[in-house]
Structure 1
Amino acid sequence: MFELLREDWETHERKFSRQGFWAMSVYRFGRWRYTIGPRILRASFSFLYKFLQKLVEVLAGIELPCEVTLGRRFRIDHFGGIIISGDATFGDDCVVRNGVTVGLRHTGQRGAPVIGNRVDIGAGAKILGPIHIGDDVAIGANAVVIRDVPSNSIAVGIPARILPRRDAALAQAEIAELQS
């Protein structure tokens, strides 16, 4: 737990004032408490976790239950209005911004998104249902993603259109060619 907290501290720019760091600290504590053997001892830690989770929800507007599976270096860039379903799964190096919802498509219908590595989720985006988001994907602000997104893509619009992601070096070469 402490190694992951140190990594979260680095990911959130070593600033205790970042609400994303608060949410990640409570999340890591919630995951850690499951490693405590005797159930009676774990009960007091569970009570503390539930109190801290509610405090973060009220103060920061971030709902991040410990049942979510998060990869390393998960970053909450801006706080407020973030709701992540306990069934969701994230890979490494993902970024989430304010107003993002990741969860179930319909009440009572199981299945939450599985999100790959290095996914950048724009402000206000909604990712809903039992879908898969590939690696190196950018999801635009306010996009509503309700179907699978392949790796190296961009998802924009309502409902989201899937566009191929251009290589940065190729884009620079095209710009240099146009300028000459």
Structure 2
Amino acid sequence: MATTHVFAGLAVVAPVAAVYPEFGTALAVGAILGGLAPDFDLVAVHRRTFHFPLLGGAVALPAVGLTVLVPSSLTAALAAVAVAAWVHAASDALGGGPEMDPWNDRTERAVYDHVRGRWIRPRRWIRYDGAPEDAALAVALAIPALLVFDGWIAGLVIGGIALSLAYAALRRRLIPWLPDWLE
């Protein structure tokens, strides 16, 4: 789920924000954007166009290094975007395939590896987005953000938890309602 990816990004930056609260908002905004960004390829070749499970590290690690050398809200936000996007892309291999009904196990393509020029197979530890285990993981990953962030960020996390649980409850019933161009 998109919320699981956002919560994963927030969980990664939460310890940094706890130590450096002056960068908390920048880190949170960056993590949210980075957690969502790879899925903008839903209208292209999903999990290939904007997903970089290996190459993402080539951007994320220097971005973190830059933030250490030149700490600012801007560098912290950019590092958070890069790290959260990388975590998102890499973690997609742990779930099912990118199709709209992955519980049917129709494909052995989880996320594209641009380095090797081939698809990484799905591990199916999370059977599909919106599976009960995905909702449980989302809630667990949201906890660090709730412990560290407050105000509108905490409100957004609480809303995201509610959205995650509702989506998980309805996920398998949503496919017939999708427009044909999404299938």
Give TM class, smaller chain. under 0.3
Structure whose CA Rg is larger = 1
Higher share of residues assigned strand: 1
Q: Tell me: higher relative CO, structure 1 or 2? Use CA pairs within 8 A at least 6 residues apart.
A: 2
